[in-house]
Structure 1
Amino acid sequence: MTPSYPSSRPVALVTGASRGIGRAIALDLGRTHHVVLVGRDRASLESTQGELPDASVLVLDVADEASVDAADLPEEVDVLVHSAGVSGGTTVAEEDRAHWRTTFEVNVFGVAHLTARLLPAVRAAGGTIVLINSGAGLFSTPGGAVYSASKFALRTFADTLREEERENGVRVVSVHPGIVDTEMGHGAISDGGHPERMLQPETIAAGVRAAVDAPPEAQFEMMSIRPSLSPKG
Protein backbone atom coordinates (compact mmCIF):
# COMPACT_ATOMS: atom_id res chain seq x y z
CA MET A 1 0.00 0.00 0.00
CA THR A 2 1.39 3.39 -1.04
CA PRO A 3 1.41 5.90 1.81
CA SER A 4 -0.21 9.28 1.45
CA TYR A 5 1.43 12.47 2.69
CA PRO A 6 -1.03 15.32 2.08
CA SER A 7 -1.03 17.45 5.21
CA SER A 8 -0.78 21.09 6.22
CA ARG A 9 1.52 20.07 9.05
CA PRO A 10 5.32 19.76 8.89
CA VAL A 11 6.44 16.17 8.26
CA ALA A 12 8.37 14.00 10.72
CA LEU A 13 9.59 10.59 9.57
CA VAL A 14 10.43 8.23 12.44
CA THR A 15 12.02 4.81 12.01
CA GLY A 16 11.49 2.14 14.66
CA ALA A 17 8.15 3.82 15.34
CA SER A 18 6.25 0.69 16.34
CA ARG A 19 7.62 0.44 19.89
CA GLY A 20 9.97 1.79 22.55
CA ILE A 21 11.77 5.07 22.05
CA GLY A 22 10.67 5.43 18.43
CA ARG A 23 7.01 5.08 19.34
CA ALA A 24 7.32 7.63 22.17
CA ILE A 25 9.02 10.10 19.81
CA ALA A 26 6.33 9.57 17.19
CA LEU A 27 3.55 10.21 19.71
CA ASP A 28 5.26 13.37 20.97
CA LEU A 29 5.98 14.79 17.50
CA GLY A 30 2.44 13.87 16.48
CA ARG A 31 1.16 16.80 18.53
CA THR A 32 2.53 19.19 15.91
CA HIS A 33 3.62 17.13 12.88
CA HIS A 34 2.30 14.72 10.32
CA VAL A 35 4.25 11.62 11.35
CA VAL A 36 5.40 9.00 8.87
CA LEU A 37 5.66 5.84 10.97
CA VAL A 38 8.38 3.55 9.64
CA GLY A 39 8.99 -0.03 10.68
CA ARG A 40 8.60 -3.69 9.66
CA ASP A 41 5.43 -4.58 11.59
CA ARG A 42 2.39 -3.07 9.88
CA ALA A 43 -0.03 -4.02 12.66
CA SER A 44 2.06 -2.28 15.34
CA LEU A 45 2.55 0.78 13.16
CA GLU A 46 -1.17 1.02 12.46
CA SER A 47 -1.86 0.71 16.18
CA THR A 48 0.38 3.73 16.80
CA GLN A 49 -1.21 5.52 13.85
CA GLY A 50 -4.59 5.15 15.55
CA GLU A 51 -3.31 7.23 18.48
CA LEU A 52 -2.21 10.13 16.29
CA PRO A 53 -4.31 12.89 14.72
CA ASP A 54 -2.28 12.98 11.48
CA ALA A 55 -0.03 10.07 10.52
CA SER A 56 0.77 7.59 7.77
CA VAL A 57 2.41 4.16 7.77
CA LEU A 58 5.44 3.15 5.72
CA VAL A 59 6.41 -0.51 6.08
CA LEU A 60 10.14 -0.63 5.50
CA ASP A 61 13.18 -2.65 6.57
CA VAL A 62 16.03 -0.16 6.96
CA ALA A 63 18.57 -2.99 6.63
CA ASP A 64 17.19 -3.99 3.23
CA GLU A 65 18.73 -1.81 0.51
CA ALA A 66 16.10 -2.75 -2.08
CA SER A 67 13.29 -1.98 0.38
CA VAL A 68 14.69 1.50 1.01
CA ASP A 69 15.22 2.21 -2.69
CA ALA A 70 11.66 1.13 -3.54
CA ALA A 71 10.03 3.19 -0.80
CA ASP A 72 7.68 6.07 -1.59
CA LEU A 73 9.29 8.81 0.51
CA PRO A 74 8.03 12.34 1.23
CA GLU A 75 9.40 15.19 -0.89
CA GLU A 76 9.93 17.39 2.16
CA VAL A 77 10.88 16.16 5.64
CA ASP A 78 11.12 18.65 8.50
CA VAL A 79 12.30 16.05 11.03
CA LEU A 80 14.01 12.73 10.33
CA VAL A 81 14.43 10.51 13.38
CA HIS A 82 16.50 7.33 13.17
CA SER A 83 15.35 5.21 16.10
CA ALA A 84 15.41 1.71 14.58
CA GLY A 85 18.28 -0.36 15.99
CA VAL A 86 19.42 -3.71 17.31
CA SER A 87 21.58 -4.57 20.31
CA GLY A 88 23.03 -7.65 21.95
CA GLY A 89 26.30 -9.48 21.57
CA THR A 90 29.04 -11.22 23.43
CA THR A 91 32.82 -11.02 23.83
CA VAL A 92 35.12 -10.45 20.88
CA ALA A 93 36.46 -13.99 21.27
CA GLU A 94 32.97 -15.50 21.08
CA GLU A 95 31.32 -13.17 18.57
CA ASP A 96 30.56 -14.39 15.05
CA ARG A 97 30.92 -12.46 11.84
CA ALA A 98 27.24 -12.75 10.92
CA HIS A 99 26.22 -10.76 14.00
CA TRP A 100 28.78 -8.07 13.19
CA ARG A 101 27.21 -7.75 9.73
CA THR A 102 23.61 -7.76 10.96
CA THR A 103 24.27 -5.12 13.62
CA PHE A 104 26.07 -2.76 11.27
CA GLU A 105 23.43 -3.22 8.53
CA VAL A 106 20.71 -1.94 10.88
CA ASN A 107 22.59 0.50 13.12
CA VAL A 108 24.90 2.10 10.54
CA PHE A 109 24.50 1.11 6.89
CA GLY A 110 20.70 1.35 6.90
CA VAL A 111 20.83 4.73 8.62
CA ALA A 112 23.39 6.07 6.13
CA HIS A 113 21.45 4.79 3.13
CA LEU A 114 18.05 6.11 4.19
CA THR A 115 19.61 9.44 5.17
CA ALA A 116 21.17 9.80 1.71
CA ARG A 117 17.80 9.05 0.10
CA LEU A 118 16.05 11.65 2.26
CA LEU A 119 18.68 14.41 2.29
CA PRO A 120 17.09 16.36 -0.60
CA ALA A 121 13.76 16.28 1.28
CA VAL A 122 15.36 17.42 4.56
CA ARG A 123 17.32 20.16 2.77
CA ALA A 124 14.13 21.39 1.09
CA ALA A 125 12.52 21.81 4.51
CA GLY A 126 15.62 23.15 6.30
CA GLY A 127 15.03 20.25 8.63
CA THR A 128 16.55 18.40 11.55
CA ILE A 129 18.03 14.89 11.55
CA VAL A 130 17.99 13.08 14.90
CA LEU A 131 20.04 9.94 15.41
CA ILE A 132 19.13 7.91 18.49
CA ASN A 133 22.48 6.57 19.60
CA SER A 134 23.35 5.16 23.06
CA GLY A 135 25.65 5.55 26.01
CA ALA A 136 27.49 2.74 24.21
CA GLY A 137 28.37 5.31 21.57
CA LEU A 138 30.37 7.23 24.19
CA PHE A 139 32.06 4.39 26.08
CA SER A 140 32.31 0.62 25.77
CA THR A 141 32.11 -2.23 28.26
CA PRO A 142 33.16 -5.91 28.16
CA GLY A 143 30.85 -7.94 25.98
CA GLY A 144 29.64 -4.91 24.07
CA ALA A 145 32.13 -4.73 21.20
CA VAL A 146 29.69 -5.20 18.32
CA TYR A 147 26.94 -2.90 19.60
CA SER A 148 29.34 -0.26 20.86
CA ALA A 149 31.38 -0.30 17.65
CA SER A 150 28.20 0.28 15.64
CA LYS A 151 27.20 3.16 17.90
CA PHE A 152 30.64 4.76 17.77
CA ALA A 153 30.39 4.51 13.98
CA LEU A 154 26.93 6.11 14.10
CA ARG A 155 28.29 8.93 16.23
CA THR A 156 31.08 9.59 13.70
CA PHE A 157 28.54 9.48 10.90
CA ALA A 158 26.45 12.11 12.71
CA ASP A 159 29.47 14.34 13.32
CA THR A 160 30.49 14.21 9.65
CA LEU A 161 26.95 14.69 8.35
CA ARG A 162 26.50 17.70 10.63
CA GLU A 163 29.52 19.48 9.16
CA GLU A 164 28.62 18.53 5.59
CA GLU A 165 25.07 19.83 5.91
CA ARG A 166 25.63 22.88 8.10
CA GLU A 167 25.71 25.23 5.10
CA ASN A 168 22.56 23.60 3.73
CA GLY A 169 20.58 24.60 6.80
CA VAL A 170 20.21 21.02 8.07
CA ARG A 171 20.69 20.38 11.79
CA VAL A 172 22.05 17.01 12.95
CA VAL A 173 21.55 15.85 16.54
CA SER A 174 23.10 12.77 18.15
CA VAL A 175 21.11 11.55 21.19
CA HIS A 176 22.81 9.19 23.68
CA PRO A 177 20.34 7.75 26.22
CA GLY A 178 21.23 5.67 29.23
CA ILE A 179 19.28 2.44 29.75
CA VAL A 180 15.64 2.99 28.85
CA ASP A 181 12.58 1.12 30.06
CA THR A 182 12.06 -0.80 26.79
CA GLU A 183 12.45 -4.37 25.64
CA MET A 184 15.96 -3.54 24.44
CA GLY A 185 16.83 -1.86 27.74
CA HIS A 186 15.71 -4.84 29.80
CA GLY A 187 17.69 -7.10 27.49
CA ALA A 188 20.83 -5.03 28.13
CA ILE A 189 20.49 -5.53 31.87
CA SER A 190 19.88 -9.26 31.53
CA ASP A 191 22.99 -9.45 29.35
CA GLY A 192 25.09 -7.93 32.14
CA GLY A 193 24.55 -4.23 31.48
CA HIS A 194 24.83 -1.61 34.21
CA PRO A 195 21.77 -1.89 36.53
CA GLU A 196 21.18 1.85 36.61
CA ARG A 197 17.80 3.44 37.16
CA MET A 198 15.91 3.23 33.88
CA LEU A 199 14.79 6.24 31.89
CA GLN A 200 11.31 6.33 30.38
CA PRO A 201 10.92 6.45 26.57
CA GLU A 202 8.93 9.67 26.99
CA THR A 203 11.99 11.28 28.59
CA ILE A 204 14.02 10.63 25.46
CA ALA A 205 11.14 11.95 23.36
CA ALA A 206 11.21 15.15 25.43
CA GLY A 207 14.91 15.56 24.63
CA VAL A 208 14.21 15.09 20.93
CA ARG A 209 11.40 17.63 21.15
CA ALA A 210 13.79 20.18 22.69
CA ALA A 211 16.24 19.67 19.82
CA VAL A 212 13.52 19.94 17.19
CA ASP A 213 12.05 23.10 18.74
CA ALA A 214 15.40 24.87 19.18
CA PRO A 215 15.57 28.28 17.44
CA PRO A 216 16.81 27.96 13.85
CA GLU A 217 20.14 29.64 14.60
CA ALA A 218 21.06 26.93 17.14
CA GLN A 219 21.27 23.18 17.34
CA PHE A 220 21.83 20.52 19.98
CA GLU A 221 24.79 18.74 18.43
CA MET A 222 25.12 15.95 21.02
CA MET A 223 22.70 15.14 23.83
CA SER A 224 23.58 12.64 26.60
CA ILE A 225 20.52 11.74 28.68
CA ARG A 226 21.33 9.83 31.89
CA PRO A 227 19.37 9.00 35.03
CA SER A 228 19.52 11.83 37.58
CA LEU A 229 19.40 9.53 40.64
CA SER A 230 21.36 6.48 41.74
CA PRO A 231 19.53 3.13 41.90
CA LYS A 232 17.88 2.38 45.22
CA GLY A 233 19.42 -0.47 47.20
Structure 2
Amino acid sequence: MGTYLITGATGGIGRAVAELLRDRGHDLILTGRSADRLVDVQESLRTGAHARTQMFQQVQNGAAPAAAPSSAAPPRRPVRGIVLDLNEPRRLEAMLAEAGLPDRLDGVVHAAGVVHLGRVAETEADEWIAHLSVNLVSAAELTRLLLPALRAAEGHVVFVNSTAGLRANPDWAAYAASKFGLRALADSLRAEEPSVRVTTVYPGRTATEMQRRVRAQEGASYDPADFADPATVARVLVGALETPRDAVVADVSVRPS
Protein backbone atom coordinates (compact mmCIF):
# COMPACT_ATOMS: atom_id res chain seq x y z
CA MET A 1 0.00 0.00 0.00
CA GLY A 2 1.08 3.56 -0.63
CA THR A 3 1.22 6.90 1.14
CA TYR A 4 -0.64 9.87 -0.36
CA LEU A 5 -0.78 13.54 0.60
CA ILE A 6 -4.01 15.35 -0.24
CA THR A 7 -4.53 19.11 -0.09
CA GLY A 8 -8.03 20.44 0.37
CA ALA A 9 -8.90 17.17 2.10
CA THR A 10 -11.79 18.78 4.02
CA GLY A 11 -13.57 19.83 0.82
CA GLY A 12 -15.79 17.97 -1.62
CA ILE A 13 -13.40 16.37 -4.12
CA GLY A 14 -10.42 16.19 -1.73
CA ARG A 15 -12.49 14.48 0.95
CA ALA A 16 -13.98 12.03 -1.57
CA VAL A 17 -10.49 11.13 -2.77
CA ALA A 18 -9.35 10.59 0.83
CA GLU A 19 -12.27 8.25 1.49
CA LEU A 20 -11.65 6.23 -1.66
CA LEU A 21 -7.90 5.90 -1.10
CA ARG A 22 -8.44 4.87 2.51
CA ASP A 23 -10.95 2.24 1.40
CA ARG A 24 -8.14 0.82 -0.70
CA GLY A 25 -5.91 0.62 2.37
CA HIS A 26 -3.52 3.49 1.68
CA ASP A 27 -1.93 5.70 4.32
CA LEU A 28 -2.95 9.34 4.10
CA ILE A 29 -1.57 12.75 4.98
CA LEU A 30 -4.48 15.17 4.88
CA THR A 31 -4.03 18.93 4.74
CA GLY A 32 -6.49 21.75 5.18
CA ARG A 33 -6.75 25.20 6.67
CA SER A 34 -9.15 24.26 9.49
CA ALA A 35 -7.97 21.97 12.28
CA ASP A 36 -11.57 21.27 13.31
CA ARG A 37 -12.57 20.19 9.81
CA LEU A 38 -9.51 17.95 9.54
CA VAL A 39 -10.55 16.22 12.77
CA ASP A 40 -14.04 15.77 11.31
CA VAL A 41 -12.62 14.02 8.25
CA GLN A 42 -10.44 11.81 10.44
CA GLU A 43 -13.38 10.86 12.63
CA SER A 44 -15.42 10.03 9.55
CA LEU A 45 -12.69 7.73 8.28
CA ARG A 46 -12.46 6.09 11.70
CA THR A 47 -16.13 5.54 12.48
CA GLY A 48 -17.99 5.42 9.19
CA ALA A 49 -17.79 3.19 6.15
CA HIS A 50 -14.02 3.65 6.23
CA ALA A 51 -13.61 2.28 9.77
CA ARG A 52 -10.65 0.07 8.90
CA THR A 53 -8.51 3.01 9.94
CA GLN A 54 -7.11 2.36 13.43
CA MET A 55 -4.79 5.24 14.32
CA PHE A 56 -4.99 9.00 13.88
CA GLN A 57 -2.72 11.91 14.60
CA GLN A 58 -3.33 15.62 14.38
CA VAL A 59 -0.29 17.75 13.64
CA GLN A 60 -0.67 21.51 13.78
CA ASN A 61 2.40 23.68 13.37
CA GLY A 62 4.65 21.12 15.01
CA ALA A 63 2.41 20.33 17.99
CA ALA A 64 2.64 16.88 19.51
CA PRO A 65 0.27 14.34 17.95
CA ALA A 66 -2.94 13.51 19.75
CA ALA A 67 -3.29 10.13 21.41
CA ALA A 68 -4.48 7.37 19.11
CA PRO A 69 -7.85 5.79 19.86
CA SER A 70 -7.76 2.27 21.18
CA SER A 71 -8.90 -0.62 18.98
CA ALA A 72 -9.02 -4.37 19.24
CA ALA A 73 -7.71 -4.68 15.68
CA PRO A 74 -3.97 -4.49 14.96
CA PRO A 75 -2.88 -0.86 14.62
CA ARG A 76 -1.99 0.62 11.28
CA ARG A 77 0.13 3.59 10.38
CA PRO A 78 -1.84 6.76 11.12
CA VAL A 79 -3.90 9.06 8.99
CA ARG A 80 -2.23 12.37 9.69
CA GLY A 81 -3.70 15.84 9.55
CA ILE A 82 -1.50 18.85 8.85
CA VAL A 83 -2.92 22.36 9.05
CA LEU A 84 -1.64 24.37 6.09
CA ASP A 85 -2.71 27.83 4.97
CA LEU A 86 -2.19 27.95 1.21
CA ASN A 87 -2.70 31.70 1.26
CA GLU A 88 0.89 31.87 2.57
CA PRO A 89 3.04 29.80 0.19
CA ARG A 90 6.28 31.24 1.62
CA ARG A 91 5.53 29.53 4.95
CA LEU A 92 4.87 26.07 3.56
CA GLU A 93 8.47 24.89 3.79
CA ALA A 94 8.66 25.64 7.52
CA MET A 95 5.25 24.05 8.14
CA LEU A 96 6.22 20.84 6.36
CA ALA A 97 9.58 20.72 8.15
CA GLU A 98 7.78 20.88 11.49
CA ALA A 99 5.39 18.12 10.45
CA GLY A 100 8.18 15.67 9.57
CA LEU A 101 6.95 14.04 6.37
CA PRO A 102 8.08 10.59 5.16
CA ASP A 103 11.01 10.15 2.80
CA ARG A 104 8.79 8.45 0.22
CA LEU A 105 5.42 9.55 -1.16
CA ASP A 106 3.47 7.52 -3.67
CA GLY A 107 1.32 10.44 -4.62
CA VAL A 108 0.24 14.03 -4.04
CA VAL A 109 -3.27 15.17 -4.91
CA HIS A 110 -3.67 18.94 -5.20
CA ALA A 111 -7.41 19.35 -4.54
CA ALA A 112 -7.44 22.69 -2.68
CA GLY A 113 -8.81 25.75 -4.41
CA VAL A 114 -10.65 29.04 -4.05
CA VAL A 115 -12.92 30.95 -6.41
CA HIS A 116 -14.56 34.34 -6.30
CA LEU A 117 -16.30 35.64 -9.38
CA GLY A 118 -15.78 39.16 -10.65
CA ARG A 119 -15.35 41.18 -13.80
CA VAL A 120 -11.83 42.26 -14.70
CA ALA A 121 -12.83 45.90 -14.21
CA GLU A 122 -13.88 45.15 -10.64
CA THR A 123 -11.25 42.60 -9.48
CA GLU A 124 -8.57 44.24 -7.35
CA ALA A 125 -5.00 43.08 -6.81
CA ASP A 126 -5.71 41.30 -3.52
CA GLU A 127 -8.28 39.09 -5.23
CA TRP A 128 -5.83 38.16 -7.98
CA ILE A 129 -3.13 37.41 -5.42
CA ALA A 130 -5.48 35.21 -3.38
CA HIS A 131 -6.46 33.12 -6.42
CA LEU A 132 -2.89 32.73 -7.61
CA SER A 133 -1.48 32.01 -4.14
CA VAL A 134 -3.91 29.20 -3.31
CA ASN A 135 -4.63 27.72 -6.74
CA LEU A 136 -1.19 27.96 -8.33
CA VAL A 137 1.77 29.18 -6.28
CA SER A 138 1.12 26.92 -3.28
CA ALA A 139 0.64 23.92 -5.58
CA ALA A 140 3.96 24.70 -7.22
CA GLU A 141 5.73 25.21 -3.91
CA LEU A 142 4.34 22.05 -2.32
CA THR A 143 5.32 20.08 -5.40
CA ARG A 144 8.86 21.46 -5.23
CA LEU A 145 9.17 20.58 -1.56
CA LEU A 146 7.74 17.07 -2.00
CA LEU A 147 9.63 16.14 -5.18
CA PRO A 148 12.47 14.30 -3.39
CA ALA A 149 9.93 11.99 -1.69
CA LEU A 150 8.01 11.58 -4.95
CA ARG A 151 11.16 10.74 -6.89
CA ALA A 152 12.16 8.17 -4.27
CA ALA A 153 8.85 6.33 -4.76
CA GLU A 154 8.48 7.09 -8.48
CA GLY A 155 5.24 8.65 -7.39
CA HIS A 156 2.31 10.44 -8.99
CA VAL A 157 1.16 14.07 -8.84
CA VAL A 158 -2.48 14.85 -9.58
CA PHE A 159 -3.66 18.41 -10.11
CA VAL A 160 -7.40 18.95 -9.69
CA ASN A 161 -7.90 21.70 -12.24
CA SER A 162 -11.25 22.82 -13.70
CA THR A 163 -12.91 23.27 -17.06
CA ALA A 164 -12.07 26.92 -16.35
CA GLY A 165 -8.47 25.84 -16.96
CA LEU A 166 -9.46 25.07 -20.54
CA ARG A 167 -11.70 28.04 -21.29
CA ALA A 168 -12.14 31.42 -19.60
CA ASN A 169 -15.63 32.86 -19.37
CA PRO A 170 -16.88 36.30 -18.29
CA ASP A 171 -16.52 36.93 -14.54
CA TRP A 172 -14.05 34.03 -14.16
CA ALA A 173 -10.80 35.79 -15.12
CA ALA A 174 -8.87 35.43 -11.85
CA TYR A 175 -9.89 31.84 -11.25
CA ALA A 176 -9.34 30.82 -14.87
CA ALA A 177 -5.93 32.49 -14.97
CA SER A 178 -4.85 30.50 -11.90
CA LYS A 179 -6.12 27.28 -13.48
CA PHE A 180 -4.48 27.98 -16.86
CA GLY A 181 -1.27 28.43 -14.87
CA LEU A 182 -1.87 25.16 -13.05
CA ARG A 183 -2.17 23.39 -16.40
CA ALA A 184 1.18 24.87 -17.45
CA LEU A 185 2.74 23.74 -14.17
CA ALA A 186 1.55 20.18 -14.75
CA ASP A 187 2.76 20.08 -18.34
CA SER A 188 6.22 21.39 -17.43
CA LEU A 189 6.52 19.04 -14.46
CA ARG A 190 5.63 16.06 -16.65
CA ALA A 191 8.39 16.99 -19.09
CA GLU A 192 10.98 17.67 -16.40
CA GLU A 193 10.45 14.67 -14.11
CA PRO A 194 10.45 11.42 -16.11
CA SER A 195 10.25 9.23 -13.00
CA VAL A 196 7.13 11.02 -11.68
CA ARG A 197 3.76 10.57 -13.34
CA VAL A 198 1.62 13.71 -13.65
CA THR A 199 -2.13 13.90 -14.22
CA THR A 200 -4.45 16.86 -14.58
CA VAL A 201 -8.15 16.30 -13.91
CA TYR A 202 -10.57 18.91 -15.27
CA PRO A 203 -13.88 18.59 -13.40
CA GLY A 204 -16.92 20.45 -14.62
CA ARG A 205 -19.41 21.78 -12.14
CA THR A 206 -19.39 19.47 -9.11
CA ALA A 207 -21.75 19.30 -6.12
CA THR A 208 -19.50 20.89 -3.48
CA GLU A 209 -19.70 23.77 -1.03
CA MET A 210 -17.54 25.76 -3.45
CA GLN A 211 -20.20 25.26 -6.12
CA ARG A 212 -22.89 26.35 -3.66
CA ARG A 213 -20.98 29.60 -3.13
CA VAL A 214 -20.45 30.07 -6.86
CA ARG A 215 -24.17 29.68 -7.52
CA ALA A 216 -24.90 32.26 -4.83
CA GLN A 217 -22.48 34.67 -6.50
CA GLU A 218 -24.24 34.02 -9.80
CA GLY A 219 -27.61 34.71 -8.18
CA ALA A 220 -28.81 31.21 -9.03
CA SER A 221 -30.22 28.31 -7.02
CA TYR A 222 -28.11 25.32 -6.00
CA ASP A 223 -29.35 21.76 -6.38
CA PRO A 224 -26.65 19.06 -5.97
CA ALA A 225 -28.54 16.84 -8.42
CA ASP A 226 -27.69 19.29 -11.20
CA PHE A 227 -23.95 18.64 -10.85
CA ALA A 228 -21.44 15.80 -10.83
CA ASP A 229 -20.98 14.00 -7.52
CA PRO A 230 -17.55 14.52 -5.91
CA ALA A 231 -17.33 10.75 -5.46
CA THR A 232 -17.59 10.33 -9.23
CA VAL A 233 -14.72 12.73 -9.82
CA ALA A 234 -12.75 10.90 -7.11
CA ARG A 235 -13.25 7.57 -8.88
CA VAL A 236 -11.84 9.00 -12.10
CA LEU A 237 -8.90 10.51 -10.23
CA VAL A 238 -8.08 7.32 -8.32
CA GLY A 239 -8.42 5.39 -11.57
CA ALA A 240 -5.63 7.55 -12.98
CA LEU A 241 -3.51 6.82 -9.90
CA GLU A 242 -4.11 3.08 -10.37
CA THR A 243 -3.17 3.04 -14.06
CA PRO A 244 -0.36 0.49 -14.61
CA ARG A 245 3.18 1.86 -14.72
CA ASP A 246 3.49 1.43 -18.48
CA ALA A 247 1.16 4.39 -19.08
CA VAL A 248 -0.01 7.67 -17.59
CA VAL A 249 -3.37 9.41 -17.80
CA ALA A 250 -2.03 12.87 -18.61
CA ASP A 251 -5.31 14.81 -18.89
CA VAL A 252 -8.92 13.82 -18.23
CA SER A 253 -12.13 15.88 -18.19
CA VAL A 254 -15.13 14.95 -16.02
CA ARG A 255 -18.36 16.79 -16.71
CA PRO A 256 -21.89 16.44 -15.35
CA SER A 257 -24.14 14.50 -17.70
What TM-score do you get using the length of structure 1 for normalisation?
0.89
Q: Determine if the alignment matches structure 1 residue 183 to structure 2 residue 209.
A: yes
Extract unaligned runs of 5+ from structure 1: 1-8, 229-233
Q: 2:253 maps to which residue?
A: 224
Deviation at 1:67, TM superposition (A): 3.3
Aligned 8 A contact 2:119 2:170 in 1: yes
Deviation at 1:108, TM superposition (A): 0.6
Aligned 8 A contact 1:133 1:174 in 2: yes
Distance 1:37 1:178 in 2: 24
Aligned 8 A contact 1:63 1:109 in 2: no
Deviation at 1:89, TM superposition (A): 2.4
Please identify runs of 4+ aligned residues in structure 1 that moved more than 4 A. 193-196
Distance 1:62 1:29 in 2: 23
Superposition pairs of residues 3-152 of structure 1, within 5 angstroms: 9-31=1-23, 32-52=25-45, 53=53, 54-70=78-94, 71=96, 72=99, 73-152=101-180
- Give 3-state SS (helix, strand or coil) of 1:118's partner: helix
Deviation at 1:40, TM superposition (A): 1.3
What TM-score do you get using the length of structure 2 for normalisation?
0.81
Number of equivalences: 218
Cα distance 1:66–1:148, how it changes in 2: closer, same or farther (>3 A)?
closer
Deviation at 1:62, TM superposition (A): 2.4
Q: Which amino acid aligns with 1:185?
A: Q
Distance 1:187 1:58 in 2: 25
How many percent of aligned residue pairs carry the same amino acid?
40
| 1:165 aligns with one of 193, 205, 228 | 193
